[in-house]
């Protein structure tokens, strides 16, 4: 395989990895919890709050549902500075994130931070094996800027 083919193939994998993260955001914003089964491997782990790891797609989905189910809407964006490293059937993805949570009965909350994901190619699809969200700041329209410890 020539050098161009190797680069094109690697770039294609990087785009697939970014697509997995976009699919994750779409699942959250549309509350399509079944779609998270396409994002995470069955035995995936995730640390979404900085507290403890969630193990398995069911635990991850349950935690996300608790956080988002009561909202009138949300918008999760993996906004930029995507850094993707591919090594065979494994990949690491890091990027900045922005999320807006909206409720008619509660103050709106905006979250900014950075997320790191480890992904694997199961020969059927690329899926997340581990996701760690490093929230750096939480903004609330009612209380202003609140730094979080990360």
pTM score, two decimals? Answer: 0.78
Kindly list the domain boundaries of the chain, sorted by start residue: 3-147
Q: What pLDDT, on a 0 to 100 scale, did the predictor assign at position 136?
A: 46
Residue-wise pLDDT tens digits, 9-58: 656 888 888 888 888 899 999 999 999 988 888 888 888 776 778 898 99
SS3 of 57-115: HHHHHHHHHHHHCCCCEEEEEEEEEEEEEEECCEEEEEEEEEEEEECCCCCCEEEEEEE
Residue-wise pLDDT tens digits, 105-131: 888 888 888 888 888 876 555 666 666
CA distance 99 to 75: 5
Residue 83 has pLDDT above 80, yes or no: yes
* Second-level CATH architecture of 3-147: Roll (3.10)
């Amino acid at each position: 395989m020539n050098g161009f083919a190797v680069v094109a193939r690697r770039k294609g994998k990087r785009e697939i990895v970014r697509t997995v993260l976009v699919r994750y955001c779409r699942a959250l914003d549309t509350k399509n919890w079944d779609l998270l089964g396409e994002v995470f491997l069955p035995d995936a782990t995730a640390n979404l709050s900085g507290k403890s790891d969630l193990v398995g797609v069911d635990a991850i989905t349950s935690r996300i549902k608790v956080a988002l189910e009561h909202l009138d809407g949300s918008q999760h964006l993996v906004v930029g500075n995507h850094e993707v490293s591919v090594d065979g059937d494994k990949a690491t993805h890091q990027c900045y994130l922005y999320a807006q949570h909206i409720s008619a009965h509660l103050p709106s909350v905006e979250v900014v931070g950075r997320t790191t994901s480890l992904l694997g190619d199961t020969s059927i699809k690329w899926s997340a094996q581990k996701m760690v969200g490093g929230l750096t700041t939480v903004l609330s329209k009612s209380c202003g800027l609140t730094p979080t410890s990360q």
